[in-house]
Each structure stands twice: as structure tokens, then as C-alpha cells.
Amino acid sequence: MQFPAEPFKIKVVEPIKKTTRDQRDHLIRKAGFNVFNLPAESIYVDLLTDSGTSAMSDNQWAGIMIGDESYAGSKSYFNFERSIKSIFGFKHIIPTHQGRSAENLLFSITLTSGDIVPNNIHFDTTRANVLHKHGKPIDLVIDEAMDPDCEHPFKGNMDTTKLQTFLNETEPDRVPLVMMTVTNNSAGGQPVSMENIRQVRAICQKHQRPFYIDACRFAENCYFIKERESGYADRSILEIARELFSYADGCTMSAKKDGLVNIGGFLAMNDDALAEKAANLLILVEGFPTYGGLAGRDLEAVARGLQEVLDEDYLAFRVGQIRYLGEMLDQAGVPFVKPVGGHAIFLNAKDFLPHIPRHQFPGQALTVALYREAGIRAVEIGGLMFGEKDEKNHQEKYPELELVRLAVPRRVYTSTHMNYVAESIIEIYKNRDRIKGLRLMYEAPLLRHFTARMEELD
């Protein structure tokens, strides 16, 4: 097991609090057994998300100081545009305040009611934005993605046979675009291969459908291509990224991930007419096209973050740190999705807590245990997040996988924190029989996991 040494030193520190088990027991009860309701101050290691939680570099902070706050034509916008074009290569760069607003713009200008959008797996906000425009999101990921133990090197790949069949059987006008999410967050942060991107591109060309990439974790994906795909070992991450985006017509991006910033995103595309529509809508909902819902200083931080994320020492550390956590858990037999993805470990709660039935939310019960025993915050991606009532028999339907995601913020925690997380989880695993199931007491009609309140069962 290789201890990944940090390729940076610490210039500013943010104290984190240690609490007692009694304090955490009190707090989690008060929070209705939902970690979204906890005060962040009471958390020791926060692995709720890797989005917007990165630590910025001294160079990014320096950029913040010289951000140009001009309403129109800001110097920082041109730096932002230049930085993005140097990697992504698209003709039009439209700044947004985060990823979901780029998705909203894209689907607002391309989708009409009843249209269908294929993706390997839509992230929640992408799915919700398609639905919001009365479209239908469909997921065509390879079957291996649904098997937590399958060690496929590119488990995020699109099933090209399924895509081909879908496009053969569907009226082309009903498919405004085909999308691919890299890395594939919902399947465990799993990468997509260049070969798969190339094939999807060829299928899209054959059917004359535009091809867009959800690029949030593109640098992590490119690092996996370099490591695992033949022919890429000697190529730089920048070269790999340029090739990857050369196959697409555009992308949506949440810079809160591989942009290494706390807020920011963009929509990019080559189509002139579509870009004009996007910019006009942007003015209405986000802001003028040279700031799009961001401050000039934010644009400057994104411009710099996108260059830093291409650094191979950084990526080796980033991917290595998560792999290291995975290896420690694996040695103790803790069940999680294999192989380890780019931004998170996804614990397999069904196997972790086989004594808790699905209707008692084993994934959520595990997030409660992680917080109560160790002050670690993770997120359930299972029956609470995706469970829904069957329209016919009103029974709850559960998603196939019941996972708990430990998403690691970028450049925030040291590998010693990872040791702490691994040791805590291994201890919890040894005492897993003591963990109890939960019952739902309150649920909102949509996205219930954010605000649900629960009760612990005896």
C-alpha cells in the first residue's frame, strides 16, 4: 500500500473541532438522523461532497485579489475564456455560477416536451433539468456498472450497443443530444475510456446527433485514461483532455469539482446559433455573458484552477489518496464498490449491514453510525435518495444499489485524515451488528433525502 504524500504544503489552516460521542448522539437525534441537518461545525472529517469544497492554491488566492469586477469585458473573463479554450477547445464559453445552471441553459435551448436524452448515467441535477423541460432522461451505462464487485477498468462507459439500438428505434428529432458524464459520478466515480468516447462520437455522427460531455471530473477521468488505456501512458493530461473534448460538440462543467474552486461553472459549445441563444438566456437568468453569475474574482480563480488540476503530481496524489483509503478498507474486508473511483469511496451498505432490511434504510443507518461513532459525514445514495412509491401498488421501490459515498474534497485533508477515516470505519464494521435501522417520519414530495426526518428503530 503506497502512502500518498501531499504535493503541497500548508500555508493557511482551518481548525476543525473534535466532539464527544455523547455530543454527537445528541446532535444526530436533533437532526432527525439526517446528516444534512447537522451543523457543519460539529463534523470532524466532512466527506459529504467533493463539490465546492476544494482548497484553493496561493496562486488562485492571488488571482482573487486582482479579479476585474467590470460589468462587461472584464479582464478576468478573458483569462477564464483563454484558460478553458486551451484545454477544452470549444468556440463559445458561457460562464455560469455552477454546473446545474449550465445544464438548465443547455436543456432550455435544445429540449422540447417529450424529447429523450441518453447519458451513461445522468447525475441527479442533470436528470432533474431534463425532467424540468418535460424531457425523458435515459441511462445507457454498461451492465458491469451495476455490479459493485466487477473490476472493469472503465466502468463508466456507455453501452454502445444499447445506444445504437436506441437511436435506430427513435425518431432523430426526439433526441436533441447525447450526453456522457466523465467520470461517471452515480456509478462510483468510474471513468470512461477514450475508445468509448470515440465510439459514441461515431454513433452520434452517424445519426447526426450532437454529443455533449458533462465534464465536472474530466481531469480525474483523463488521469485514469493515462493509467489504464493503452497508448496514453506517455501523453500529458492536457493532451488527453484535448483529444477527449475534440470528439464532442460541447460540454457542461461544474468548476466546483475539477476547477478547484468553491463556486463556478460554464457551458461550452461550437454551434454559433445555439451559443447565441444560450447567451441571451444567460443575460436573463445569470448575468451578462462576460460574468454569468460570478464575480470577476471567481472567474480568475477558475482560470487558474483549471490549469492546476492538469498537474500530474496533483492527480497522482488525488487519485492515490482515495485508492489508499480503499486499500485500507479492503484489507479489513469492508465492502465497497470496486474498483475505487476518482473522487470517492462508495461503501456497499447492503453487504455492510445485511441485518437491516431495505425499508429500514441501511445506507442512511450507516451514515448515522459514521457520524455518531467518528464525527465523519458521508452521504447515502440508496433507498432514501432514490426510493419512490410504485404508482400502481403504492409500495416503495428501491434502487438496485444501496451505497454510502465518502467523497474526498480536493487538497483539503491529509493522508493522516484518511488513516483516521479508515480506522473508524473498520471499527464500525467490526461492531456492525449494533447498528439499527431507521423509520421515515417526514418526507418532502421531491428530493426527500435533503430534508427527511427519521427515527431509530429498536
Residue appearing with cell numbers 426526439: 174
Is residue 216 within the footprint of ligand F0G (CB under 6 A)?
Answer: yes
Say which residues have a Cβ less than 8 Å from residue 107's Cβ, sequence separation at least 6: 117, 129, 130, 132, 133, 135
E strands in 27-183: 45-46, 92-96, 116-119, 136-139, 178-181
44 binds ligand F0G (CB under 6 A): no
The correct pick among 28, 38, 45, 51 for binding ligand F0G (CB under 6 A) is 51
Q: CA separation (Å) from 108 to 133, 156, 251, 270, 277? A: 7, 26, 15, 17, 9
Segment interacting with ligand F0G, rule: CB under 6 A, options 71-79, 123-131, 239-247, 436-444:
123-131
Residue 302 binds ligand F0G, judged by CB under 6 A = no
Grid coordinates of 339: 474498483
292 binding ligand F0G? (CB under 6 A): no
Cell of 202: 461515431
Q: What is the CA radius of gyration of the chain?
A: 22
Q: Which are the contacts of 421, defined by CB distance < 8 A and separation ≥ 6? A: 45, 47, 325, 374, 376, 406
Q: Shortest gap between Cβ of 189 and ligand F0G (angstroms)?
A: 9
Among 119, 125, 360, 424, binds ligand F0G (CB under 6 A): 125
Residue closer to ligand F0G by CB (options 51, 360) is 51
- Which one of residues 256, 318, 377, 410 is an interface residue with ligand F0G (CB under 6 A)? 256
Half-sphere exposure of 110 (CA within 13 A, CB side): 26
Residue 221 binds ligand F0G (CB under 6 A): no
Q: Which stretch binds ligand F0G (CB under 6 A): 120-128, 172-180, 317-325, 352-360?
A: 120-128
Q: Which residue has the cell 483529444?
A: 243
Closest CB to ligand F0G among residues 155, 256: 256
Contact (CB, 8 A) for 181 and 251 = no
Distance (Å, whole) CA 244 – CA 195:
10
Determine if 348 is a binding residue for ligand F0G (CB under 6 A). Answer: no
Closest residue by beta carbon to ligand F0G:
99
Strands (E), 276-375: 344-348
Task: Please list, in sequence order, all residues whose beta carbon lies within 8 angstroms of the beta carbon of residue 429, skipping any fewer than 6 positions away.
Answer: 332, 333, 334, 352
The yes or no reply on residue 304 touching ligand F0G (CB under 6 A) is no
Q: Does 382 bind ligand F0G (CB under 6 A)?
A: no
Q: How far is the CB of 36 from ligand F0G (least distance, A)?
A: 12
Region binding ligand F0G by CB under 6 A among candidate stretches 118-126, 137-145, 362-370, 392-400: 118-126
Cα–Cα nearest to 438, from 375, 380, 376, 391? 380
Candidates 118, 135, 156, 265: give the one binding ligand F0G (CB under 6 A): 265
Select 49 or 83, whichever has its Cβ closest to ligand F0G: 49
| 157 near ligand F0G, rule: CB under 6 A | no
The residue from 28, 34, 38, 49 that contacts ligand F0G (CB under 6 A) is: 49
Q: How far apart are CA 361 and CA 270, in angstroms?
A: 45
Query: Does 119 contact ligand F0G by CB under 6 A?
Result: no
Stretch that binds ligand F0G, among 85-93, 119-127, 190-198, 382-390 (CB under 6 A): 119-127
Q: Which of 88, 90, 123, 154 binds ligand F0G (CB under 6 A)?
A: 123
Q: Which one, 63 or 265, has the nearer CB to ligand F0G?
A: 265
In 3D space, the residue among 346, 325, 366 whose CA is nearest the CA of residue 406 turns out to be 346
Residue 53 within binding range of ligand F0G, rule CB under 6 A: no
Note the Cα 56 to chain centre separation in Å.
Answer: 18
Nearest to 254 by CA among 237, 268, 272: 268
Question: Minimum CB separation from ligand F0G for residue 84, in Å?
Answer: 16
Closest approach of ligand F0G to the CB of residue 257, in Å: 7
Q: Which residues bind ligand F0G (CB under 6 A)?
A: 49, 51, 98-100, 123, 125-126, 181, 185, 214, 216, 254, 256, 265
